Structures are given as structure tokens and as C-alpha cells.
């Protein structure tokens, strides 16, 4: 069994969605994701939804939707996306 990737953090990592997303996609594009960690897992919040990002390739994030009991939702182009530190990330 392999160990899960360590959670990574970046100060003030935030950007905006480059295109709308529905409530089921697992990849999303940001205008400029360079402030977000390039390896490991990290949590992001878009509106009221928390997601676990498991990979970043250029400006594309691979995510697990509706994380920590939030509901996967539709999000519009240009909506803000921020990396967050949550109680669950500290507990792990």
C-alpha cells in the first residue's frame, strides 16, 4: 500500500476559473495556476464548495469534488478559486 501524497501549502494562492464547470467534472482550468502547489494534494474552495486537488499540470487542476461534506456545484467562468487550510487538513 502506498502512502497518500503529503498535503502542500502555498501562501495566498488564488486565481479565477477559465471557463464554467458543471457539478461532475474532475478537471478544471484556471487563468494562472502558478501560485498553487505543483505536487502533492491541496484543498481549494470555489464559492461554497471545497475540493481536494490531487494534481496540477500547468493551469489545469485534477480535483475530487464536494470534499469535506460540501456539495459539488456548477461554477461560472471567472469565479474565484483559493487554496484553503481546513480543520480536516490539519487533522490529517
Tell me the pLDDT tens digit for each residue of 1-35.
Answer: 444 567 888 888 999 999 999 999 999 999 999 99
What domain count does the chain have? 1
23: cell is 457539478
CA distances from residue 2 to 5, 6, 9, 18, 63 in whole angstroms, order as listed: 9, 12, 21, 33, 20
Place of cell 470534499: 67
Question: What would the pLDDT profile of 63-81 be if each residue is shown by its tens digit?
Answer: 999 999 999 999 999 999 9
Q: Please indicate, yes or no, if residue 3 is contained in any of the structural domains.
A: no
Q: Please indicate, yes or no, if residue 63 is contained in any of the structural domains.
A: yes
Q: Please indicate, yes or no, if residue 9 is contained in any of the structural domains.
A: no
pLDDT at 5: 66
Q: Please indicate, yes or no, if residue 4 is contained in any of the structural domains.
A: no
Contact (Cβ atoms closer than 8 angstroms) between residue 36 and residue 58: no
Q: Please indicate, yes or no, if residue 61 is contained in any of the structural domains.
A: yes
Q: Please indicate, yes or no, if residue 2 is contained in any of the structural domains.
A: no
Q: 37: domain range?
A: 14-91
Q: Please indicate, yes or no, if residue 6 is contained in any of the structural domains.
A: no
75: cell is 461554477
Q: Please indicate, yes or no, if residue 26 is contained in any of the structural domains.
A: yes
Amino acid at each position: 500500500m502506498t502512502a497518500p501524497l503529503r498535503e502542500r501549502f502555498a501562501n495566498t494562492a488564488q486565481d479565477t476559473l477559465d471557463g464554467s464547470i458543471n457539478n461532475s467534472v474532475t478537471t478544471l482550468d484556471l487563468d494562472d495556476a502558478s501560485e498553487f502547489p505543483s505536487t502533492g494534494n491541496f484543498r481549494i474552495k470555489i464559492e461554497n464548495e471545497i475540493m481536494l486537488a490531487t494534481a496540477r499540470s500547468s493551469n489545469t487542476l485534477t480535483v475530487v469534488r464536494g470534499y469535506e461534506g460540501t456539495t459539488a456545484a456548477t461554477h461560472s467562468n471567472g469565479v474565484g478559486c483559493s487554496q484553503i487550510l481546513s480543520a480536516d487538513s490539519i487533522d490529517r
